[in-house]
Amino acid sequence: MGECTGAATPSTSDRLTYEQLVVIVRACTGVQLDAAGLDDPELELKALGVDSLGLLGVVAELERRYPVLLGPEAEQAVSPRALYDLVNAQLARGDRP
């Protein structure tokens, strides 16, 4: 069960999908994103309504659901794409202690 109210049980796999990111962002921040087009690196979280506090909640939730340790780079991610890439790069390396 996720921390953020209303988050569905994660189907944790070896990859984060944009659909999963949409669910997590909504559960943590109340912001409803559209998975289509989220891979646009120009799309900014802030412009989508996810502020700095909301992003911290999303990062904490990602760390709880996936075997990743994201740190400051993710906490200051500008776009959903950047967040997505950070999580998937770590998952691909499989380097979480």
Partner 1 sequence: MTGTTRRPVITGMGALASTGIGADVVGRAAREGLSGIGPITRYPAAGTPLSLAGEIPDFDPLEHLEGPVVAQTDRFTQLALTASDMALKDAGLTPAELAPYSFGVVTASCAGGVEFGQKEIERLWSRGPSHVGPYQSIAWFYAASTGQISIRHGLKGPSGVLVTDEAGGLDALGCAGREIARGTAAMLAGGAEAPLSPFSMACQFGHGLLSTARDPERAYLPFTRAASGFVPAEGGAMAVVEEERAARARGAVPRAVILGHGTAFAGMLRFDRSAEALAAAARMALAEAGLSPAAVDVVFADALGVPEADAAEVRALRLLFGARRAEEVPVTAPKAGTGRAYSGAGALDVTLAVLSLEQGLVPPAPHLDGAEPALPLNLVTGRARPLRPRTALLLARGLSGSCSALVLQRAGDGP
Partner 2 sequence: MRSAARPVAVTGTGVVAPGATGRAAFRELLAAGRTATRAITLFDASGFRSRIAAECDFDPQAAGLSAREAGRMDRYVQFAVAAVREAVADAGLDTAAGDPWRTGVSMGSAVGGTTRLEADYVVASDRGRDWVVDHRYVSPFLYRVFSPGPLAGEVAELLGARGVVHTVSTGCTSGLDAIGYAFQCIREGRADVMVAGAADSPISPITVSCFDAIRATSARNDAPESASRPFDRERDGFVLGEGAAALVLEDLEHARRRGAEVHCLIGGFATRSNAYHMTGLTREGLEMAEAVEQALAQARRRPEEVDYVNAHGSGTQQNDRHETAAFKRSLGAHARRVPVSSVKSMVGHSLGAIGAIELAACVLAMDEGMVPPTANLEHPDPECDLDYVPMTARSQRLDTVLSVGSGFGGFQSAVVLDRPDRKVLQPS
Residues that bind partner 2 (CB under 8 A): 51-53, 56-57, 60, 75
Residues near 48 by beta carbon (within 8 Å), at least 6 away in sequence: 31, 33, 80
Interface mask toward partner 1 for 33-52; x: CB under 8 A: ----------------x---
Residues near 25 by beta carbon (within 8 Å), at least 6 away in sequence: 31, 33, 50, 54, 58, 80
Instruction: Name the minimum Å distance from CB 2 to partner 2.
Output: 16
Instruction: Name the minimum Å distance from CB 34 to partner 1.
Output: 14
Q: How many residues bind partner 1 (CB under 8 A)?
A: 15
Q: Residue 75 binds what, of partner 1, partner 2, none (CB under 5 to 8 Å, by partner type)?
A: partner 2
Query: By the 8 A CB rule, do 58 and 82 touch?
Result: no
Report the distance separating Cα 16 and Cα 59, nearest Å: 13
Residues lying near partner 1 in the complex (CB under 8 A) are found at 3-4, 26, 28-32, 49, 53-54, 56-57, 60, 64
